[in-house]
């Protein structure tokens, strides 16, 4: 974490592919941007926009890294198995808190997605721009590079998620004025103030949508002695979850396993109690926003009085979140258009300018 951006200045040292070589190969290869998320992976292809949006889930035979269905049990097919697999099968989410936790499974997942987009027979591996959390370590970056390389990428570039989200949300981040983005994903929340096409202040916290789901699971255990799965918790969050009172309060019927009897049971919960259950993760996100604002230079802070804060990422869809951030900061808070795809759209726009910008990105010749 911290305010130092990982985007490098100047041309990469020891670049294995000179400009003339890239231009020669250009018509034969594919350029793609990948939003490698904890919950979902989105792929954008240069000139085509977003072409794939699937869950970051892989189903394997237990005790091995053998992907089921001849390597096809990835994405939607695997997500349907989450929490419902027999003893011989494991459904794995290979990314945790925005970073790779299982290298081989991530490699298999990336290979599946790249193959699905480019086709099984490809003359040339694609050049890939992958968005990463701003707070990850050099070791975690190396894992991203290695996974992409083993999955068939010819060249891999890293783009910080706040910058990708800002581009996708249409913020004037390259101008001499402050733009602020809060990108709430599945594993991390990225908070950044940008100006002149760079990050002035940022904070990456490993609190996001997954933590909201876990808070709901813990609430059901504590108050109802009812065990529910991740997918049920996510459904509760989407249907009746909120950060502040918005509209009419609602109820929902929830089914799970009774922790005392061990038998299936259902109960009814209210939106008020789920709001209370979500208080801690929401509070932690708002704290990250206020900390980032407190570190801003006075002139940038002054710009934000007019420019406000932009929310992106799936977690930003939680009802009432903008109201709570507005209360804490006093700034106008706006939800980006189609916040779920902001980062992926940002990588797609970056791809359109890759020849101009690629030498300012960290790539797999730099580490």
Q: What is the pLDDT of residue 366?
A: 59
Report the candidate in 95, 287, 312, 137 with the shortest Cα–Cα distance to residue 207: 287
Bridge partners (DSSP) of residue 130 are 34, 158
Q: What is the pLDDT of residue 12?
A: 35
* Residues shown for the chain: 367
344 has pLDDT over 70: yes
Neighbours of 202 (CB within 10 A): 27
Q: What is the pLDDT of residue 121?
A: 57
- Domain 209-279 belongs to what architecture? Alpha-Beta Complex (3.90)
On average, the pLDDT of the chain sits at 85
pLDDT digits (tens, 9 = 90+) for 304-340: 999 999 999 999 999 999 999 999 999 999 999 989 9
Of the CA atoms within 13 Å of residue 225, those in its CB half-sphere come to 6
Residue 137 CA, distance from chain mean position: 17
- The reply to whether 172-207+283-336 and 209-279 are identical in fold is no
Q: What is the pLDDT of residue 365?
A: 59
The predicted model gives 70-83 an average pLDDT of 83
User: Which has more confidence, 294 or 117?
Assistant: 294
pLDDT-derived band at 82 (thresholds 50, 70, 90) equals confident
297 has pLDDT over 90: yes
289 has pLDDT over 70: yes
Q: What is the pLDDT of residue 1?
A: 38
Note the pTM of the prediction, 2 decimals.
0.84
Q: What is the pLDDT of residue 2?
A: 39
pLDDT digits (tens, 9 = 90+) for 247-271: 888 999 999 999 999 999 999 999 9
User: Which has more confidence, 285 or 148?
Assistant: 285
Q: What is the pLDDT of residue 355?
A: 75
Of the CA atoms within 13 Å of residue 91, those in its CB half-sphere come to 20
User: Which has more confidence, 120 or 93?
Assistant: 93
Note whether 326 and 333 are within 8 A (CB): yes
- Domain 172-207+283-336 belongs to what architecture? 2-Layer Sandwich (3.30)
Q: What is the pLDDT of residue 127?
A: 85
Domain ranges of the chain: 37-164+343-361, 172-207+283-336, 209-279
Q: What is the pLDDT of residue 4?
A: 36
> What does the buried/exposed string (b/e) look like for 247-285 if buried means 16 or more CB atoms within 10 Å of the residue's CB?
eeeeeeebebeeeeeeeebeeebebebbbebbeebbeeb
User: Which has more confidence, 216 or 136?
Assistant: 216
Note the CATH number of domain 37-164+343-361. 3.30.420.40
Q: What is the pLDDT of residue 251?
A: 94
Q: What is the pLDDT of residue 298?
A: 94
223 has pLDDT over 60: yes
Q: What is the pLDDT of residue 326?
A: 96
pLDDT-derived band at 27 (thresholds 50, 70, 90) equals very low
């Amino acid at each position: 974490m911290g305010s130092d951006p990982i985007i490098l200045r100047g041309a990469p040292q020891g670049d294995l592919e000179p400009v003339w070589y890239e231009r020669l190969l250009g018509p034969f290869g594919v350029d793609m941007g990948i939003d490698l998320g904890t919950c979902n992976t989105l792929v954008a292809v240069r000139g085509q926009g977003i072409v794939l949006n699937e869950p970051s889930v892989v189903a394997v035979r237990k005790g091995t890294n053998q992907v089921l269905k001849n390597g096809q049990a990835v994405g939607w097919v695997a997500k349907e198995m989450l929490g419902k697999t027999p003893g011989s099968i494991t459904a794995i989410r290979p990314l945790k808190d925005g970073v790779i936790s299982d290298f081989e499974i991530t490699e298999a997942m990336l290979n599946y997605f790249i193959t699905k987009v480019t086709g099984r027979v490809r003359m040339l591996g694609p050049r890939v721009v992958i968005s990463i959390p701003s707070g990850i370590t050099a070791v975690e970056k190396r894992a991203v590079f290695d996974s992409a390389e083993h999955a068939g990428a010819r060249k891999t570039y890293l783009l910080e998620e706040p910058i990708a989200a800002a581009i996708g949300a249409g913020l004037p981040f390259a101008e001499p004025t402050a733009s602020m983005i809060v990108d709430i994903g599945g594993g991390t929340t990225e908070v950044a103030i940008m100006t002149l096409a760079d990050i002035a202040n940022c904070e990456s916290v490993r609190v996001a949508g997954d933590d909201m789901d876990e808070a709901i699971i813990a609430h059901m255990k504590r108050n109802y002695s009812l065990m529910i799965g991740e997918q049920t918790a996510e459904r509760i969050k989407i249907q009746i979850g909120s950060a502040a009172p918005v509209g009419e309060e609602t109820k929902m019927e929830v089914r799970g396993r009774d922790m005392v009897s061990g038998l299936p049971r259902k109960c009814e919960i209210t939106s008020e109690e789920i709001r209370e259950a979500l208080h801690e993760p929401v509070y932690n996100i708002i704290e990250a926003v206020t900390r980032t604002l407190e570190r801003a230079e006075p002139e940038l802070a002054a710009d934000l009085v007019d420019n406000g804060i932009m929310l992106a990422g799936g977690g930003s869809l939680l009802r009432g979140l903008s109201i709570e951030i507005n209360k804490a900061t006093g700034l106008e808070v706006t939800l980006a258009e189609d916040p779920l795809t902001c980062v992926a759209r940002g990588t797609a726009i970056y791809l359109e300018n890759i020849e101009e910008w690629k030498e300012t990105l960290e790539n797999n010749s730099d580490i």
